[in-house]
Amino acid sequence: MAIPVVYVISDSIGETAEFVAKAAASQFNSGEIEIRRIPYVSDEEHLEQVLSEASEYKAVVAYTLVVPALRQRLAEIAQEKGLIVVDVIGPMLEALGKVSKTTPRLEPGLLHKLDDEYFRKVEAIEFAVKYDDGKDPRGVLYADVVLIGISRTSKTPLCMYLAHKRLKAANIPLVPEVAPPEELFKLPPRKVIGLTIKPEILNPIRQERLKALGLASNADYASMERILHELDYAENIMKKLGCPVIDVSNKAVEETASKILQIYYRGDRNEK
């Protein structure tokens, strides 16, 4: 007795229909069932060739085609050739269309486009964590954007926010006692964005930070003299780099991130 054959036809990769076919085949103990996946069937000529071949094996045809014209043509050919066909995705599209009262986009491969976006986001988040707070300055060479600024200018939360927008963001703290990494000066100015803040706003923020750490709020870290010194130092570094500068005073992370994205995508170097 010939081994049953299943042709899996898709206008994308075809993994979904193949998985369903394998899951069904696993329920039978009457010998092997051969599954042949035919991906990227995007025109009627290719479809007709595949179905003609499938008919020679009296194969079952499982398909995930979202383009209506291809689905209709497959049904016509299958009827002509007496093929058994299984529409893997069609019933779900119809059901979701009814409950959502919307029309599906009918674009092949959307699931994998979404997967790609997801993995790019994960990669960007991992990048932000790895190269946070200047842990490894070599990372700035591989970043889409590098944020620089003194302590408590929202560098880390901004990098994480940008990572969710699929941008690889690194950040470098500017401290007068520590020279900036050489890698920073190798970058084109458009990839570096300076963050600054008004001293009278930063002062209470740093005091609260010290309290959270269980330290005296009058420590040098939160003194106005120290803050002004750090801001002057950072301003000089940013001028040397020639990078755009954003004042984060009283700005939500989302608002600052929006300005960073404008600079990155549009080359808008003027802080507004």
Round to whole Å and give the CA distance between 224 and 206.
Answer: 10
* C-alpha 93, offset from chain centre: 25
247: β partners: 196
Buried b (16+ CB within 10 A) or exposed e, 213-238: eeeeeeeebbeeebbeebbeebeebb
Residue 256 in marked binding region:
no
Q: Report the relative pairing of strands 5-10 and 34-38 from DSSP bridges.
A: parallel
Cα–Cα dist 61/152, whole Å:
61
Q: Judge contact between 259 and 253, C-beta under 8 A.
A: no
Q: How far apart are CA 272 and CA 269, in angstroms?
A: 9
Amino acid at 196: T
SS3 letters across 153-186: CCHHHHHHHHHCCCCCEEEEECECCECCCHHHHH
* Number of residues in the chain: 272
150: annotated binding-site residue? Answer: yes
Q: Is 251 assigned to a binding site?
A: no
The encoded tokens of residue 148 equal: 């620089």
Residue 156 labeled ligand binder:
yes
Residue 153 marked as a ligand binder: yes
Q: Which residues contact 148 (CB under 8 A, 6 or more apart)?
A: 155, 171, 172, 173, 174, 180, 184, 192, 193, 194, 195, 234, 237, 238, 241, 243
155 assigned ligand-binding residue: yes
Binding-site residues sit at 149-156
Instruction: Output the known binding site for ADP.
Output: 149-156
